[in-house]
Structure 1
C-alpha cells in the first residue's frame, strides 16, 4: 500500500520532533561527559559544549584511586542483583496467589497490604524495627526491607489476571502444582512485564543512597551512591590532599603528579556523578524492547 503525501509529511514532522526531544535528553549526559574529561581549570573558562577542550583522565583517576570506591561498587552490584531477583520473585509469588479467584479473603488481604502505601510509620519507627531485627550495619539492611513491593504486586496481579484460566486448569489436570504453573505458564507469558519491573527495582537499588547514609556506619558496607553523596558534601580539597598523599606514598611523584593541577572540585563532582550513573544506563538497552510492552500489560485493567 502506497504511503500518502499527508502520511509522509506527518512521519517527517514526527521523526524530527522525536529526534529533537531525544537530543535534548541526551545532551546533558554528553555535556557532563565532556566536562569530566576536560581539565578542571580549563573548564572554569567556559565554552565547553559536546567535547573536551583539554582532555584529561585526572578527574576519574582521583575518584577511582580511592580504595573505598571498589568496595562501594561491589556492595552496590551485589545488592542490585540480589535485591532485584529476590524482590521480583517474592512479589510475583504473592501477586500470583492474589490473582486467583479461589483464594479466600483475597480482597481483605489486598486492603491490608495497601494501607501501608498511604500511612507510613516514619523514620524513627523504621529505624527501631531495623535495630530490633539486627539489620543495622549489615549487608542485609539493603535486601530484607525491600523484599516485597505492594505497587509492583498490584501491577503483577493485574497482568496475571489477564492470562486465560484454561491454561492453568489444563496444567492442573496434567498434575502440575502451583509452582510448576507459575514457572511454565505465568512466567513465560509475563516476561515483558517482569523485565520492566526488574528494571525499575534495579534502578531503585542502584540509586539508593539513603539506606547507606542512615543505617550503615561501616565504610566497607557503603554503596556507590552513598559514597558519592559523601564526596559531594565533604571538602573536595581534603579529598584531593588525601589522594595526593596516596600517590606520593606509592612513589608516583615524578610520573603524573602534574595532573593535580588539572583537577577542581567542580570537575571532580561531575566525574563522581558519571561514575555512579553510567553503569546502570548500559543495562537499559538490553531491556528496552520489553519496557513499553511490560508497562502497558500491567495497566490495562484496574
Structure 2
C-alpha cells in the first residue's frame, strides 16, 4: 500500500527543493561557464548545460606559468599541514581532558586568551622573520597547525568517551600515551575526519600566506598563484587584449578563464569530501562497551 503524503509535506518538499535549487545553481553555473565557449557564454545569462562544450578554458588556465608546480605544492602543503594539525591539536586536547594535572587552569586560560586576542599582522610578520620561516615551505604549514576551536572540539569529543575504557587500560598497565593511541584515537575517527576536512580546506584555500610571506615563485601555493592569474586576466579584460593567438584561444575570454580557475581550485576538495562524509554521522561509541 502506497503511503499517502499529506499536502503540507508536499508543500514543504517543494519549498526545500526550490531553496536548494536557488542555492546550488550559482555554483553549478560556474561549471557550466567553465566548460562552455567563452564567447558563446556572453550571449546569455542563464544556461542549464554547456551549449558549446569545450576544454579550452581549463586548458588555458592550466597553461599559465607555474600552475602545475603550484598545484603539487598545495597538495603537499595541505597533506602535511592537515596531518600535523590533527596530531598536535588532538594531543593537546587529550592532555587538556586531564583536569587534575598541575597548572590546568593556567594553561586553559592561556589558550583561551590566544583565541580572543592576536598580536596583529606586523608582529606575526616579525616573528616569521626571527624564526627564519619567511620565504620557506614551512611558513605555509606551521602557523596553521594549532587552532583553539579545533582543540575544544577534540576535547569535547574525548570527554564524551566513557572513562571506563581508559581506566580498564590503565589497570592493565597502559601508559597515558598508550591509552591515547590505542583506545581514544581509534574511537575518534568521526572527529578526526571532521577536523581533518576543516583543516584541509583552510590550507587549500589559503592565499593570504603566500601573498605576504613568500617571494620565491616556486613556493607560491595554488591559490596565491591563481589570485595572480586572475589579476592578470582583469588587466586583459580592462585593456581589451587578446587572450591567445590560436584559433581555439579566440573562444576564450578573461571571464571564462576566471571561472575555469575557480573550478580548478574547488574541485579537489569536492572530490575528497565523499570519502570523509560517512564519518560525520557515524556513532563513535557503537559497540565500544558491552554489558
The reply to whether TM is greater than 0.5 is yes
Q: Is 1:75 paired with 2:64?
A: no
The residue number in structure 1 matching 2:200 is: 202
Find the aligned partners of 1:60 and 1:121 in 2 and give their Cα distance: 41
1:14–1:283 CA distance, 2 compared to 1 (3 A): farther
The residue number in structure 1 matching 2:271 is: 282
Instruction: Count the aligned residue pairs.
Output: 282
* Correspondence 1:1-302 to 2 at 5 A: 9=7, 11-235=9-233, 244=244, 257-291=246-280
Runs of at least 5 residues in structure 2 that lack an aligned partner in the other structure: 284-291
Structure richer in helix, relative to its length: 1
Q: Contact (CA 8 Å) 1:87, 1:148: kept in 2 or not?
A: yes
1:47–1:127 CA distance, 2 compared to 1 (3 A): closer
Q: Which moved more, 1:13-22 or 1:266-275?
A: 13-22
TM superposition shift of 1:188: 2.0
Q: Given the two structures, how large is their TM-score scaled by the length of structure 2?
A: 0.88
State the SS of the aligned residue for 2:96: helix
Runs of at least 5 residues in structure 1 that lack an aligned partner in the other structure: 246-256, 295-302
TM superposition shift of 1:149: 1.1
Find the aligned partners of 1:182 and 1:95 in 2 and give their Cα distance: 11
Find the aligned partners of 2:280 and 2:207 in 1 and give their Cα distance: 25
Q: Given the two structures, how large is their TM-score scaled by the length of structure 1?
A: 0.85
Q: CA RMSD in A?
A: 2.6
1:14–1:192 CA distance, 2 compared to 1 (3 A): farther
1:14–1:195 CA distance, 2 compared to 1 (3 A): farther
Find the aligned partners of 1:197 and 1:21 in 2 and give their Cα distance: 28
State the SS of the aligned residue for 1:94: helix
Query: In the TM superposition, what whole-angstrom CA distance separates every residue of 1:154-212 from its partner, at most 9, and x where no partner exists?
Result: 11111111112121111011111122211221112221111111111110001000000
